[in-house]
Amino acid sequence: MNDHPTPAQSAIRLGLITGVIAYFIWGIFPIYIKSVGAVSAMEIMAHRILWSIPFGALILTFRRQWPEVLGALGDKRVLFMLALAAISIAANWYIYVLAVLDGRVLEASLGYYINPLMYVAAGVFILGETLRKAQIVAVALASAGVLTLTFGAGIFPLTSILLAVLFTAYGYIRKTTNVGAMPGLFIEVCLLSPIALIYLIWLIKAGNAVFLSGDFGMDVLLVLAGPVTVIPLVCFALAARRLRLSTLGFLQYIGPTLQFALGIYFGEKFTLYHAICFGLIWTALAIFSVDAARAGKTIRPVTRAV
């Protein structure tokens, strides 16, 4: 008997490992943001963008993907779509970082729980798709959850909605643009880099930057903004090529679940209305996931962008 795994089994195993790593890093990302809590959201954003470039370049070199980058740069349509994607992801990143710094990790996690259902809404309003009965029930339950939080606790989860909408827009753009995950992200951060660089230089000259202010440990943490942005993306890309999309669809809940747990750990306010809201959305996701599996379709996981 041969106990060695087949190449297919090894590929699936690697896909599961890298997929879990990607979603785990995204899930505990609030810990990193809290560790640089003395830094403004805009400065954190600038470092995420700028330090993703050299680290991303190393990954592209290792994976020999420079031809794909050059090909995308030579295609005006692809470049235009990536510019739109860059705007969407930059806004998503900023809102997420700001939410964590403001102590609203629970609200941020709610946005990523809502995200799969936002794809359904996009399919209806943009692609003219027809909802199945289970999908209608799932959307209704999620809407009831949001309304409960809005009218019960008096908190309209604007951050959650914006994160879900922006990430759905980003996912839709990337899904319809013929470029790989890492080459696409590299071009996106390059497009954003002039603004980030100008802002950081201005901040340093004005004496308002935390970076290079004498705290070497903080400088290291800010430089690490590049790797913690790029590494989970690479792991996701490896997983996406080896796993069924339905498997990735279920794995994607690792991220917001860890964020939810961290929000509780950080002592954020969690009322009865929050419990009802999350309970309704979890029920909606369960119905949605089972329906997707039965229909032979999938929750559409795309590159997370927190």
User: What average pLDDT does this structure show over 251-270?
Assistant: 91
Rg of the chain taking only CA atoms, in angstroms = 20
Contact 239, 19 (CB under 8 A): yes
pLDDT of residue 91: 95
Higher pLDDT, residue 7 or 287 = 287
pLDDT in tens, 190-237: 999 999 999 999 999 999 999 999 899 999 999 999 999 999 888 887
Looking at the chain, the whole-number percentage of residues with pLDDT higher than 70 is 93
Query: Which has the closest alpha carbon to 183: 21, 17, 58, 60?
Result: 60
In terms of phi and psi (left: phi > 0; alpha: psi -120 to 50; beta: otherwise), the region of 268 is beta
- Categorize the per-residue pLDDT at 286 as very low, low, confident or very high, splitting at 50, 70 and 90: confident
Structure tokens at 136: 């209608």
pLDDT of residue 56: 94
pLDDT of residue 143: 87
Least confident of 7-11, 200-204, 299-303: 299-303
Measured distance CA(118)–CA(97) in Å, rounded: 21
Q: Which helix (H) or strand (E) holds 3?
A: none
pLDDT of residue 305: 54
Is 80 exceeded by the pLDDT of residue 295?
no
Q: 3-state DSSP call for residue 36?
A: coil
pLDDT of residue 204: 93
- Residue 180 carries which side chain, given as an amino acid letter? G
pLDDT of residue 299: 53
Contact 185, 173 (CB under 8 A): no
Higher pLDDT, residue 292 or 135 = 135
- Residue 292 carries which side chain, given as an amino acid letter? A
pLDDT of residue 36: 95
* Distances 288 to 92, 180, 283 between C-alpha atoms, Å: 24, 28, 9
- Residue 275 carries which side chain, given as an amino acid letter? A
Q: On the CB side of 288, how many CA atoms lie within 13 Å of its CA?
A: 29
DSSP structure string for 217-262: HHHHHHHTHHHHHHHHHHHHHHHHTTS-HHHHHHHTTHHHHHHHHH
- Categorize the per-residue pLDDT at 297 as very low, low, confident or very high, splitting at 50, 70 and 90: low
Compute the mean pLDDT over every residue in the chain, rounded to the nearest whole number.
Answer: 87
pLDDT of residue 301: 53
Measured distance CA(231)–CA(57) in Å, rounded: 12
- Categorize the per-residue pLDDT at 306 as very low, low, confident or very high, splitting at 50, 70 and 90: low
Is 60 exceeded by the pLDDT of residue 89?
yes
Q: On the CB side of 34, how many CA atoms lie within 13 Å of its CA?
A: 13
pLDDT of residue 245: 62
Helix H segments across the chain?
7-27, 29-35, 41-62, 66-73, 76-101, 105-125, 133-152, 158-175, 181-205, 216-223, 225-240, 245-251, 254-265, 272-294
pLDDT of residue 112: 87
Q: 3-state DSSP call for residue 178?
A: coil
- Categorize the per-residue pLDDT at 298 as very low, low, confident or very high, splitting at 50, 70 and 90: low
